[in-house]
Amino acid sequence: MCDTLVIFAKKMFEALKDSPLFKGLEIADIDLLINNTLHQIKQFSNKEVLAYSGEKVEKAMILLEGKLHGEMVDFAGNSLKIEEMDPPQMVAAAFLYGPQSVFPVNLSAIADGKMLIIYKKDFTQLLSDDQRVLNNYLNIVSGKAQFLSRKITFLSFKTIKEKIAYYLLQNLRSGSQMVTMTQSQKGLAEMLGVARPSLARTISEMEADQLIRWERNQVEIINLKLLQIILGR
């Protein structure tokens, strides 16, 4: 039993070293911080709902193992997948503080796993104990705010073609006509909040119109000007 705990602790600190929250810290630094902070390890199962939209965020959560996703459900029962989370991400980091510190989405597991839990008061003390962790946390929060801003922009577009055009232009490298896709069409459809067949059909239409050429994980922008016109630029 002791050997099992030692092995898990080693794996946990190795995972935390790769976490954005502890970026730049050595395992010994993380070990000292965590062991001086009240914490617990939560195990969860696939398909388990860990939090509901509107529920108060009372603790810092760092995913150690498994996979989670955030899903928004409207009054008609329609769902929109907002984000998938892999280890060692911090969960709901941007909603831990502030007057509206509640989960904006339902949080569910899509694989068995474990999570490090630190209650807000103790997490606040941890941030004050190490300036590097504080800076990392602020970067995480800023990144999440920017991500949500992009998500809202996607939702503001009326057509799938506009959403695709915006995504491609946002990810187009300066001086290049190529966009490297970091996710499948299924993942892109979920991110844009559209049905996969509708996305595939719109991509085919854009290829037929000589706007783009889509090959696996590479998209070539054939007519940049027309792509910009779709967005009214």
121-166: pLDDT as tens digits: 999 999 999 999 999 999 999 988 887 777 777 778 889 999 999 9
pLDDT at res. 3: 59
Is residue 182 predicted with pLDDT exceeding 50? yes
3-state DSSP assignment of residue 132: helix
What percentage of residues in the chain have a pLDDT greater than 70?
Answer: 94
pLDDT digits (tens, 9 = 90+) for 72-88: 776 666 666 777 899 99
Is residue 230 predicted with pLDDT exceeding 60? yes
pLDDT at res. 189: 87
pLDDT digits (tens, 9 = 90+) for 43-55: 999 999 999 999 9
Name the one residue in this structure whose structure tokens are 């941030």.
127
pLDDT at res. 9: 79
- Show Cβ contacts of residue 12 under 8 Å, excluding neighbours closer than 6 positions: 41, 64, 116
The secondary structure of 34-79 as a DSSP string is HHTS--EEEEE-TT-EEE-TT-B--EEEEEEEEEEEEEEE-TTS-E
Q: How confident is the model at residue 8 (pLDDT cuts 50, 70, 90)?
A: confident
pLDDT digits (tens, 9 = 90+) for 55-73: 999 999 999 999 999 887 7
Average pLDDT on 167-192 reads: 86
> Into which CATH architecture does domain 2-146 fall?
Sandwich (2.60)
Under 8 Å between Cβ of 123 and 60: yes
Domain boundaries 157-230, CATH class = mainly alpha
Dist CA 157 CA 170 (whole Å):
14
pLDDT at res. 34: 94
Domains 2-146 and 157-230 alike in fold: no
Q: How high is the mean pLDDT of the chain? A: 89
Domain boundaries, the chain: 2-146, 157-230
- Show Cβ contacts of residue 156 under 8 Å, excluding neighbours closer than 6 positions: none
pLDDT at res. 201: 95
Which tops the pLDDT comparison, 136 or 232? 136
Reported as type and span, the H/E element at residue 111 is strand 106-119
Average pLDDT on 86-114 reads: 92
The one-letter code for the residue type at 76 is A
Which tops the pLDDT comparison, 230 or 193? 230
Which tops the pLDDT comparison, 216 or 106? 106
pLDDT at res. 1: 45
Q: How confident is the model at residue 184 (pLDDT cuts 50, 70, 90)?
A: confident
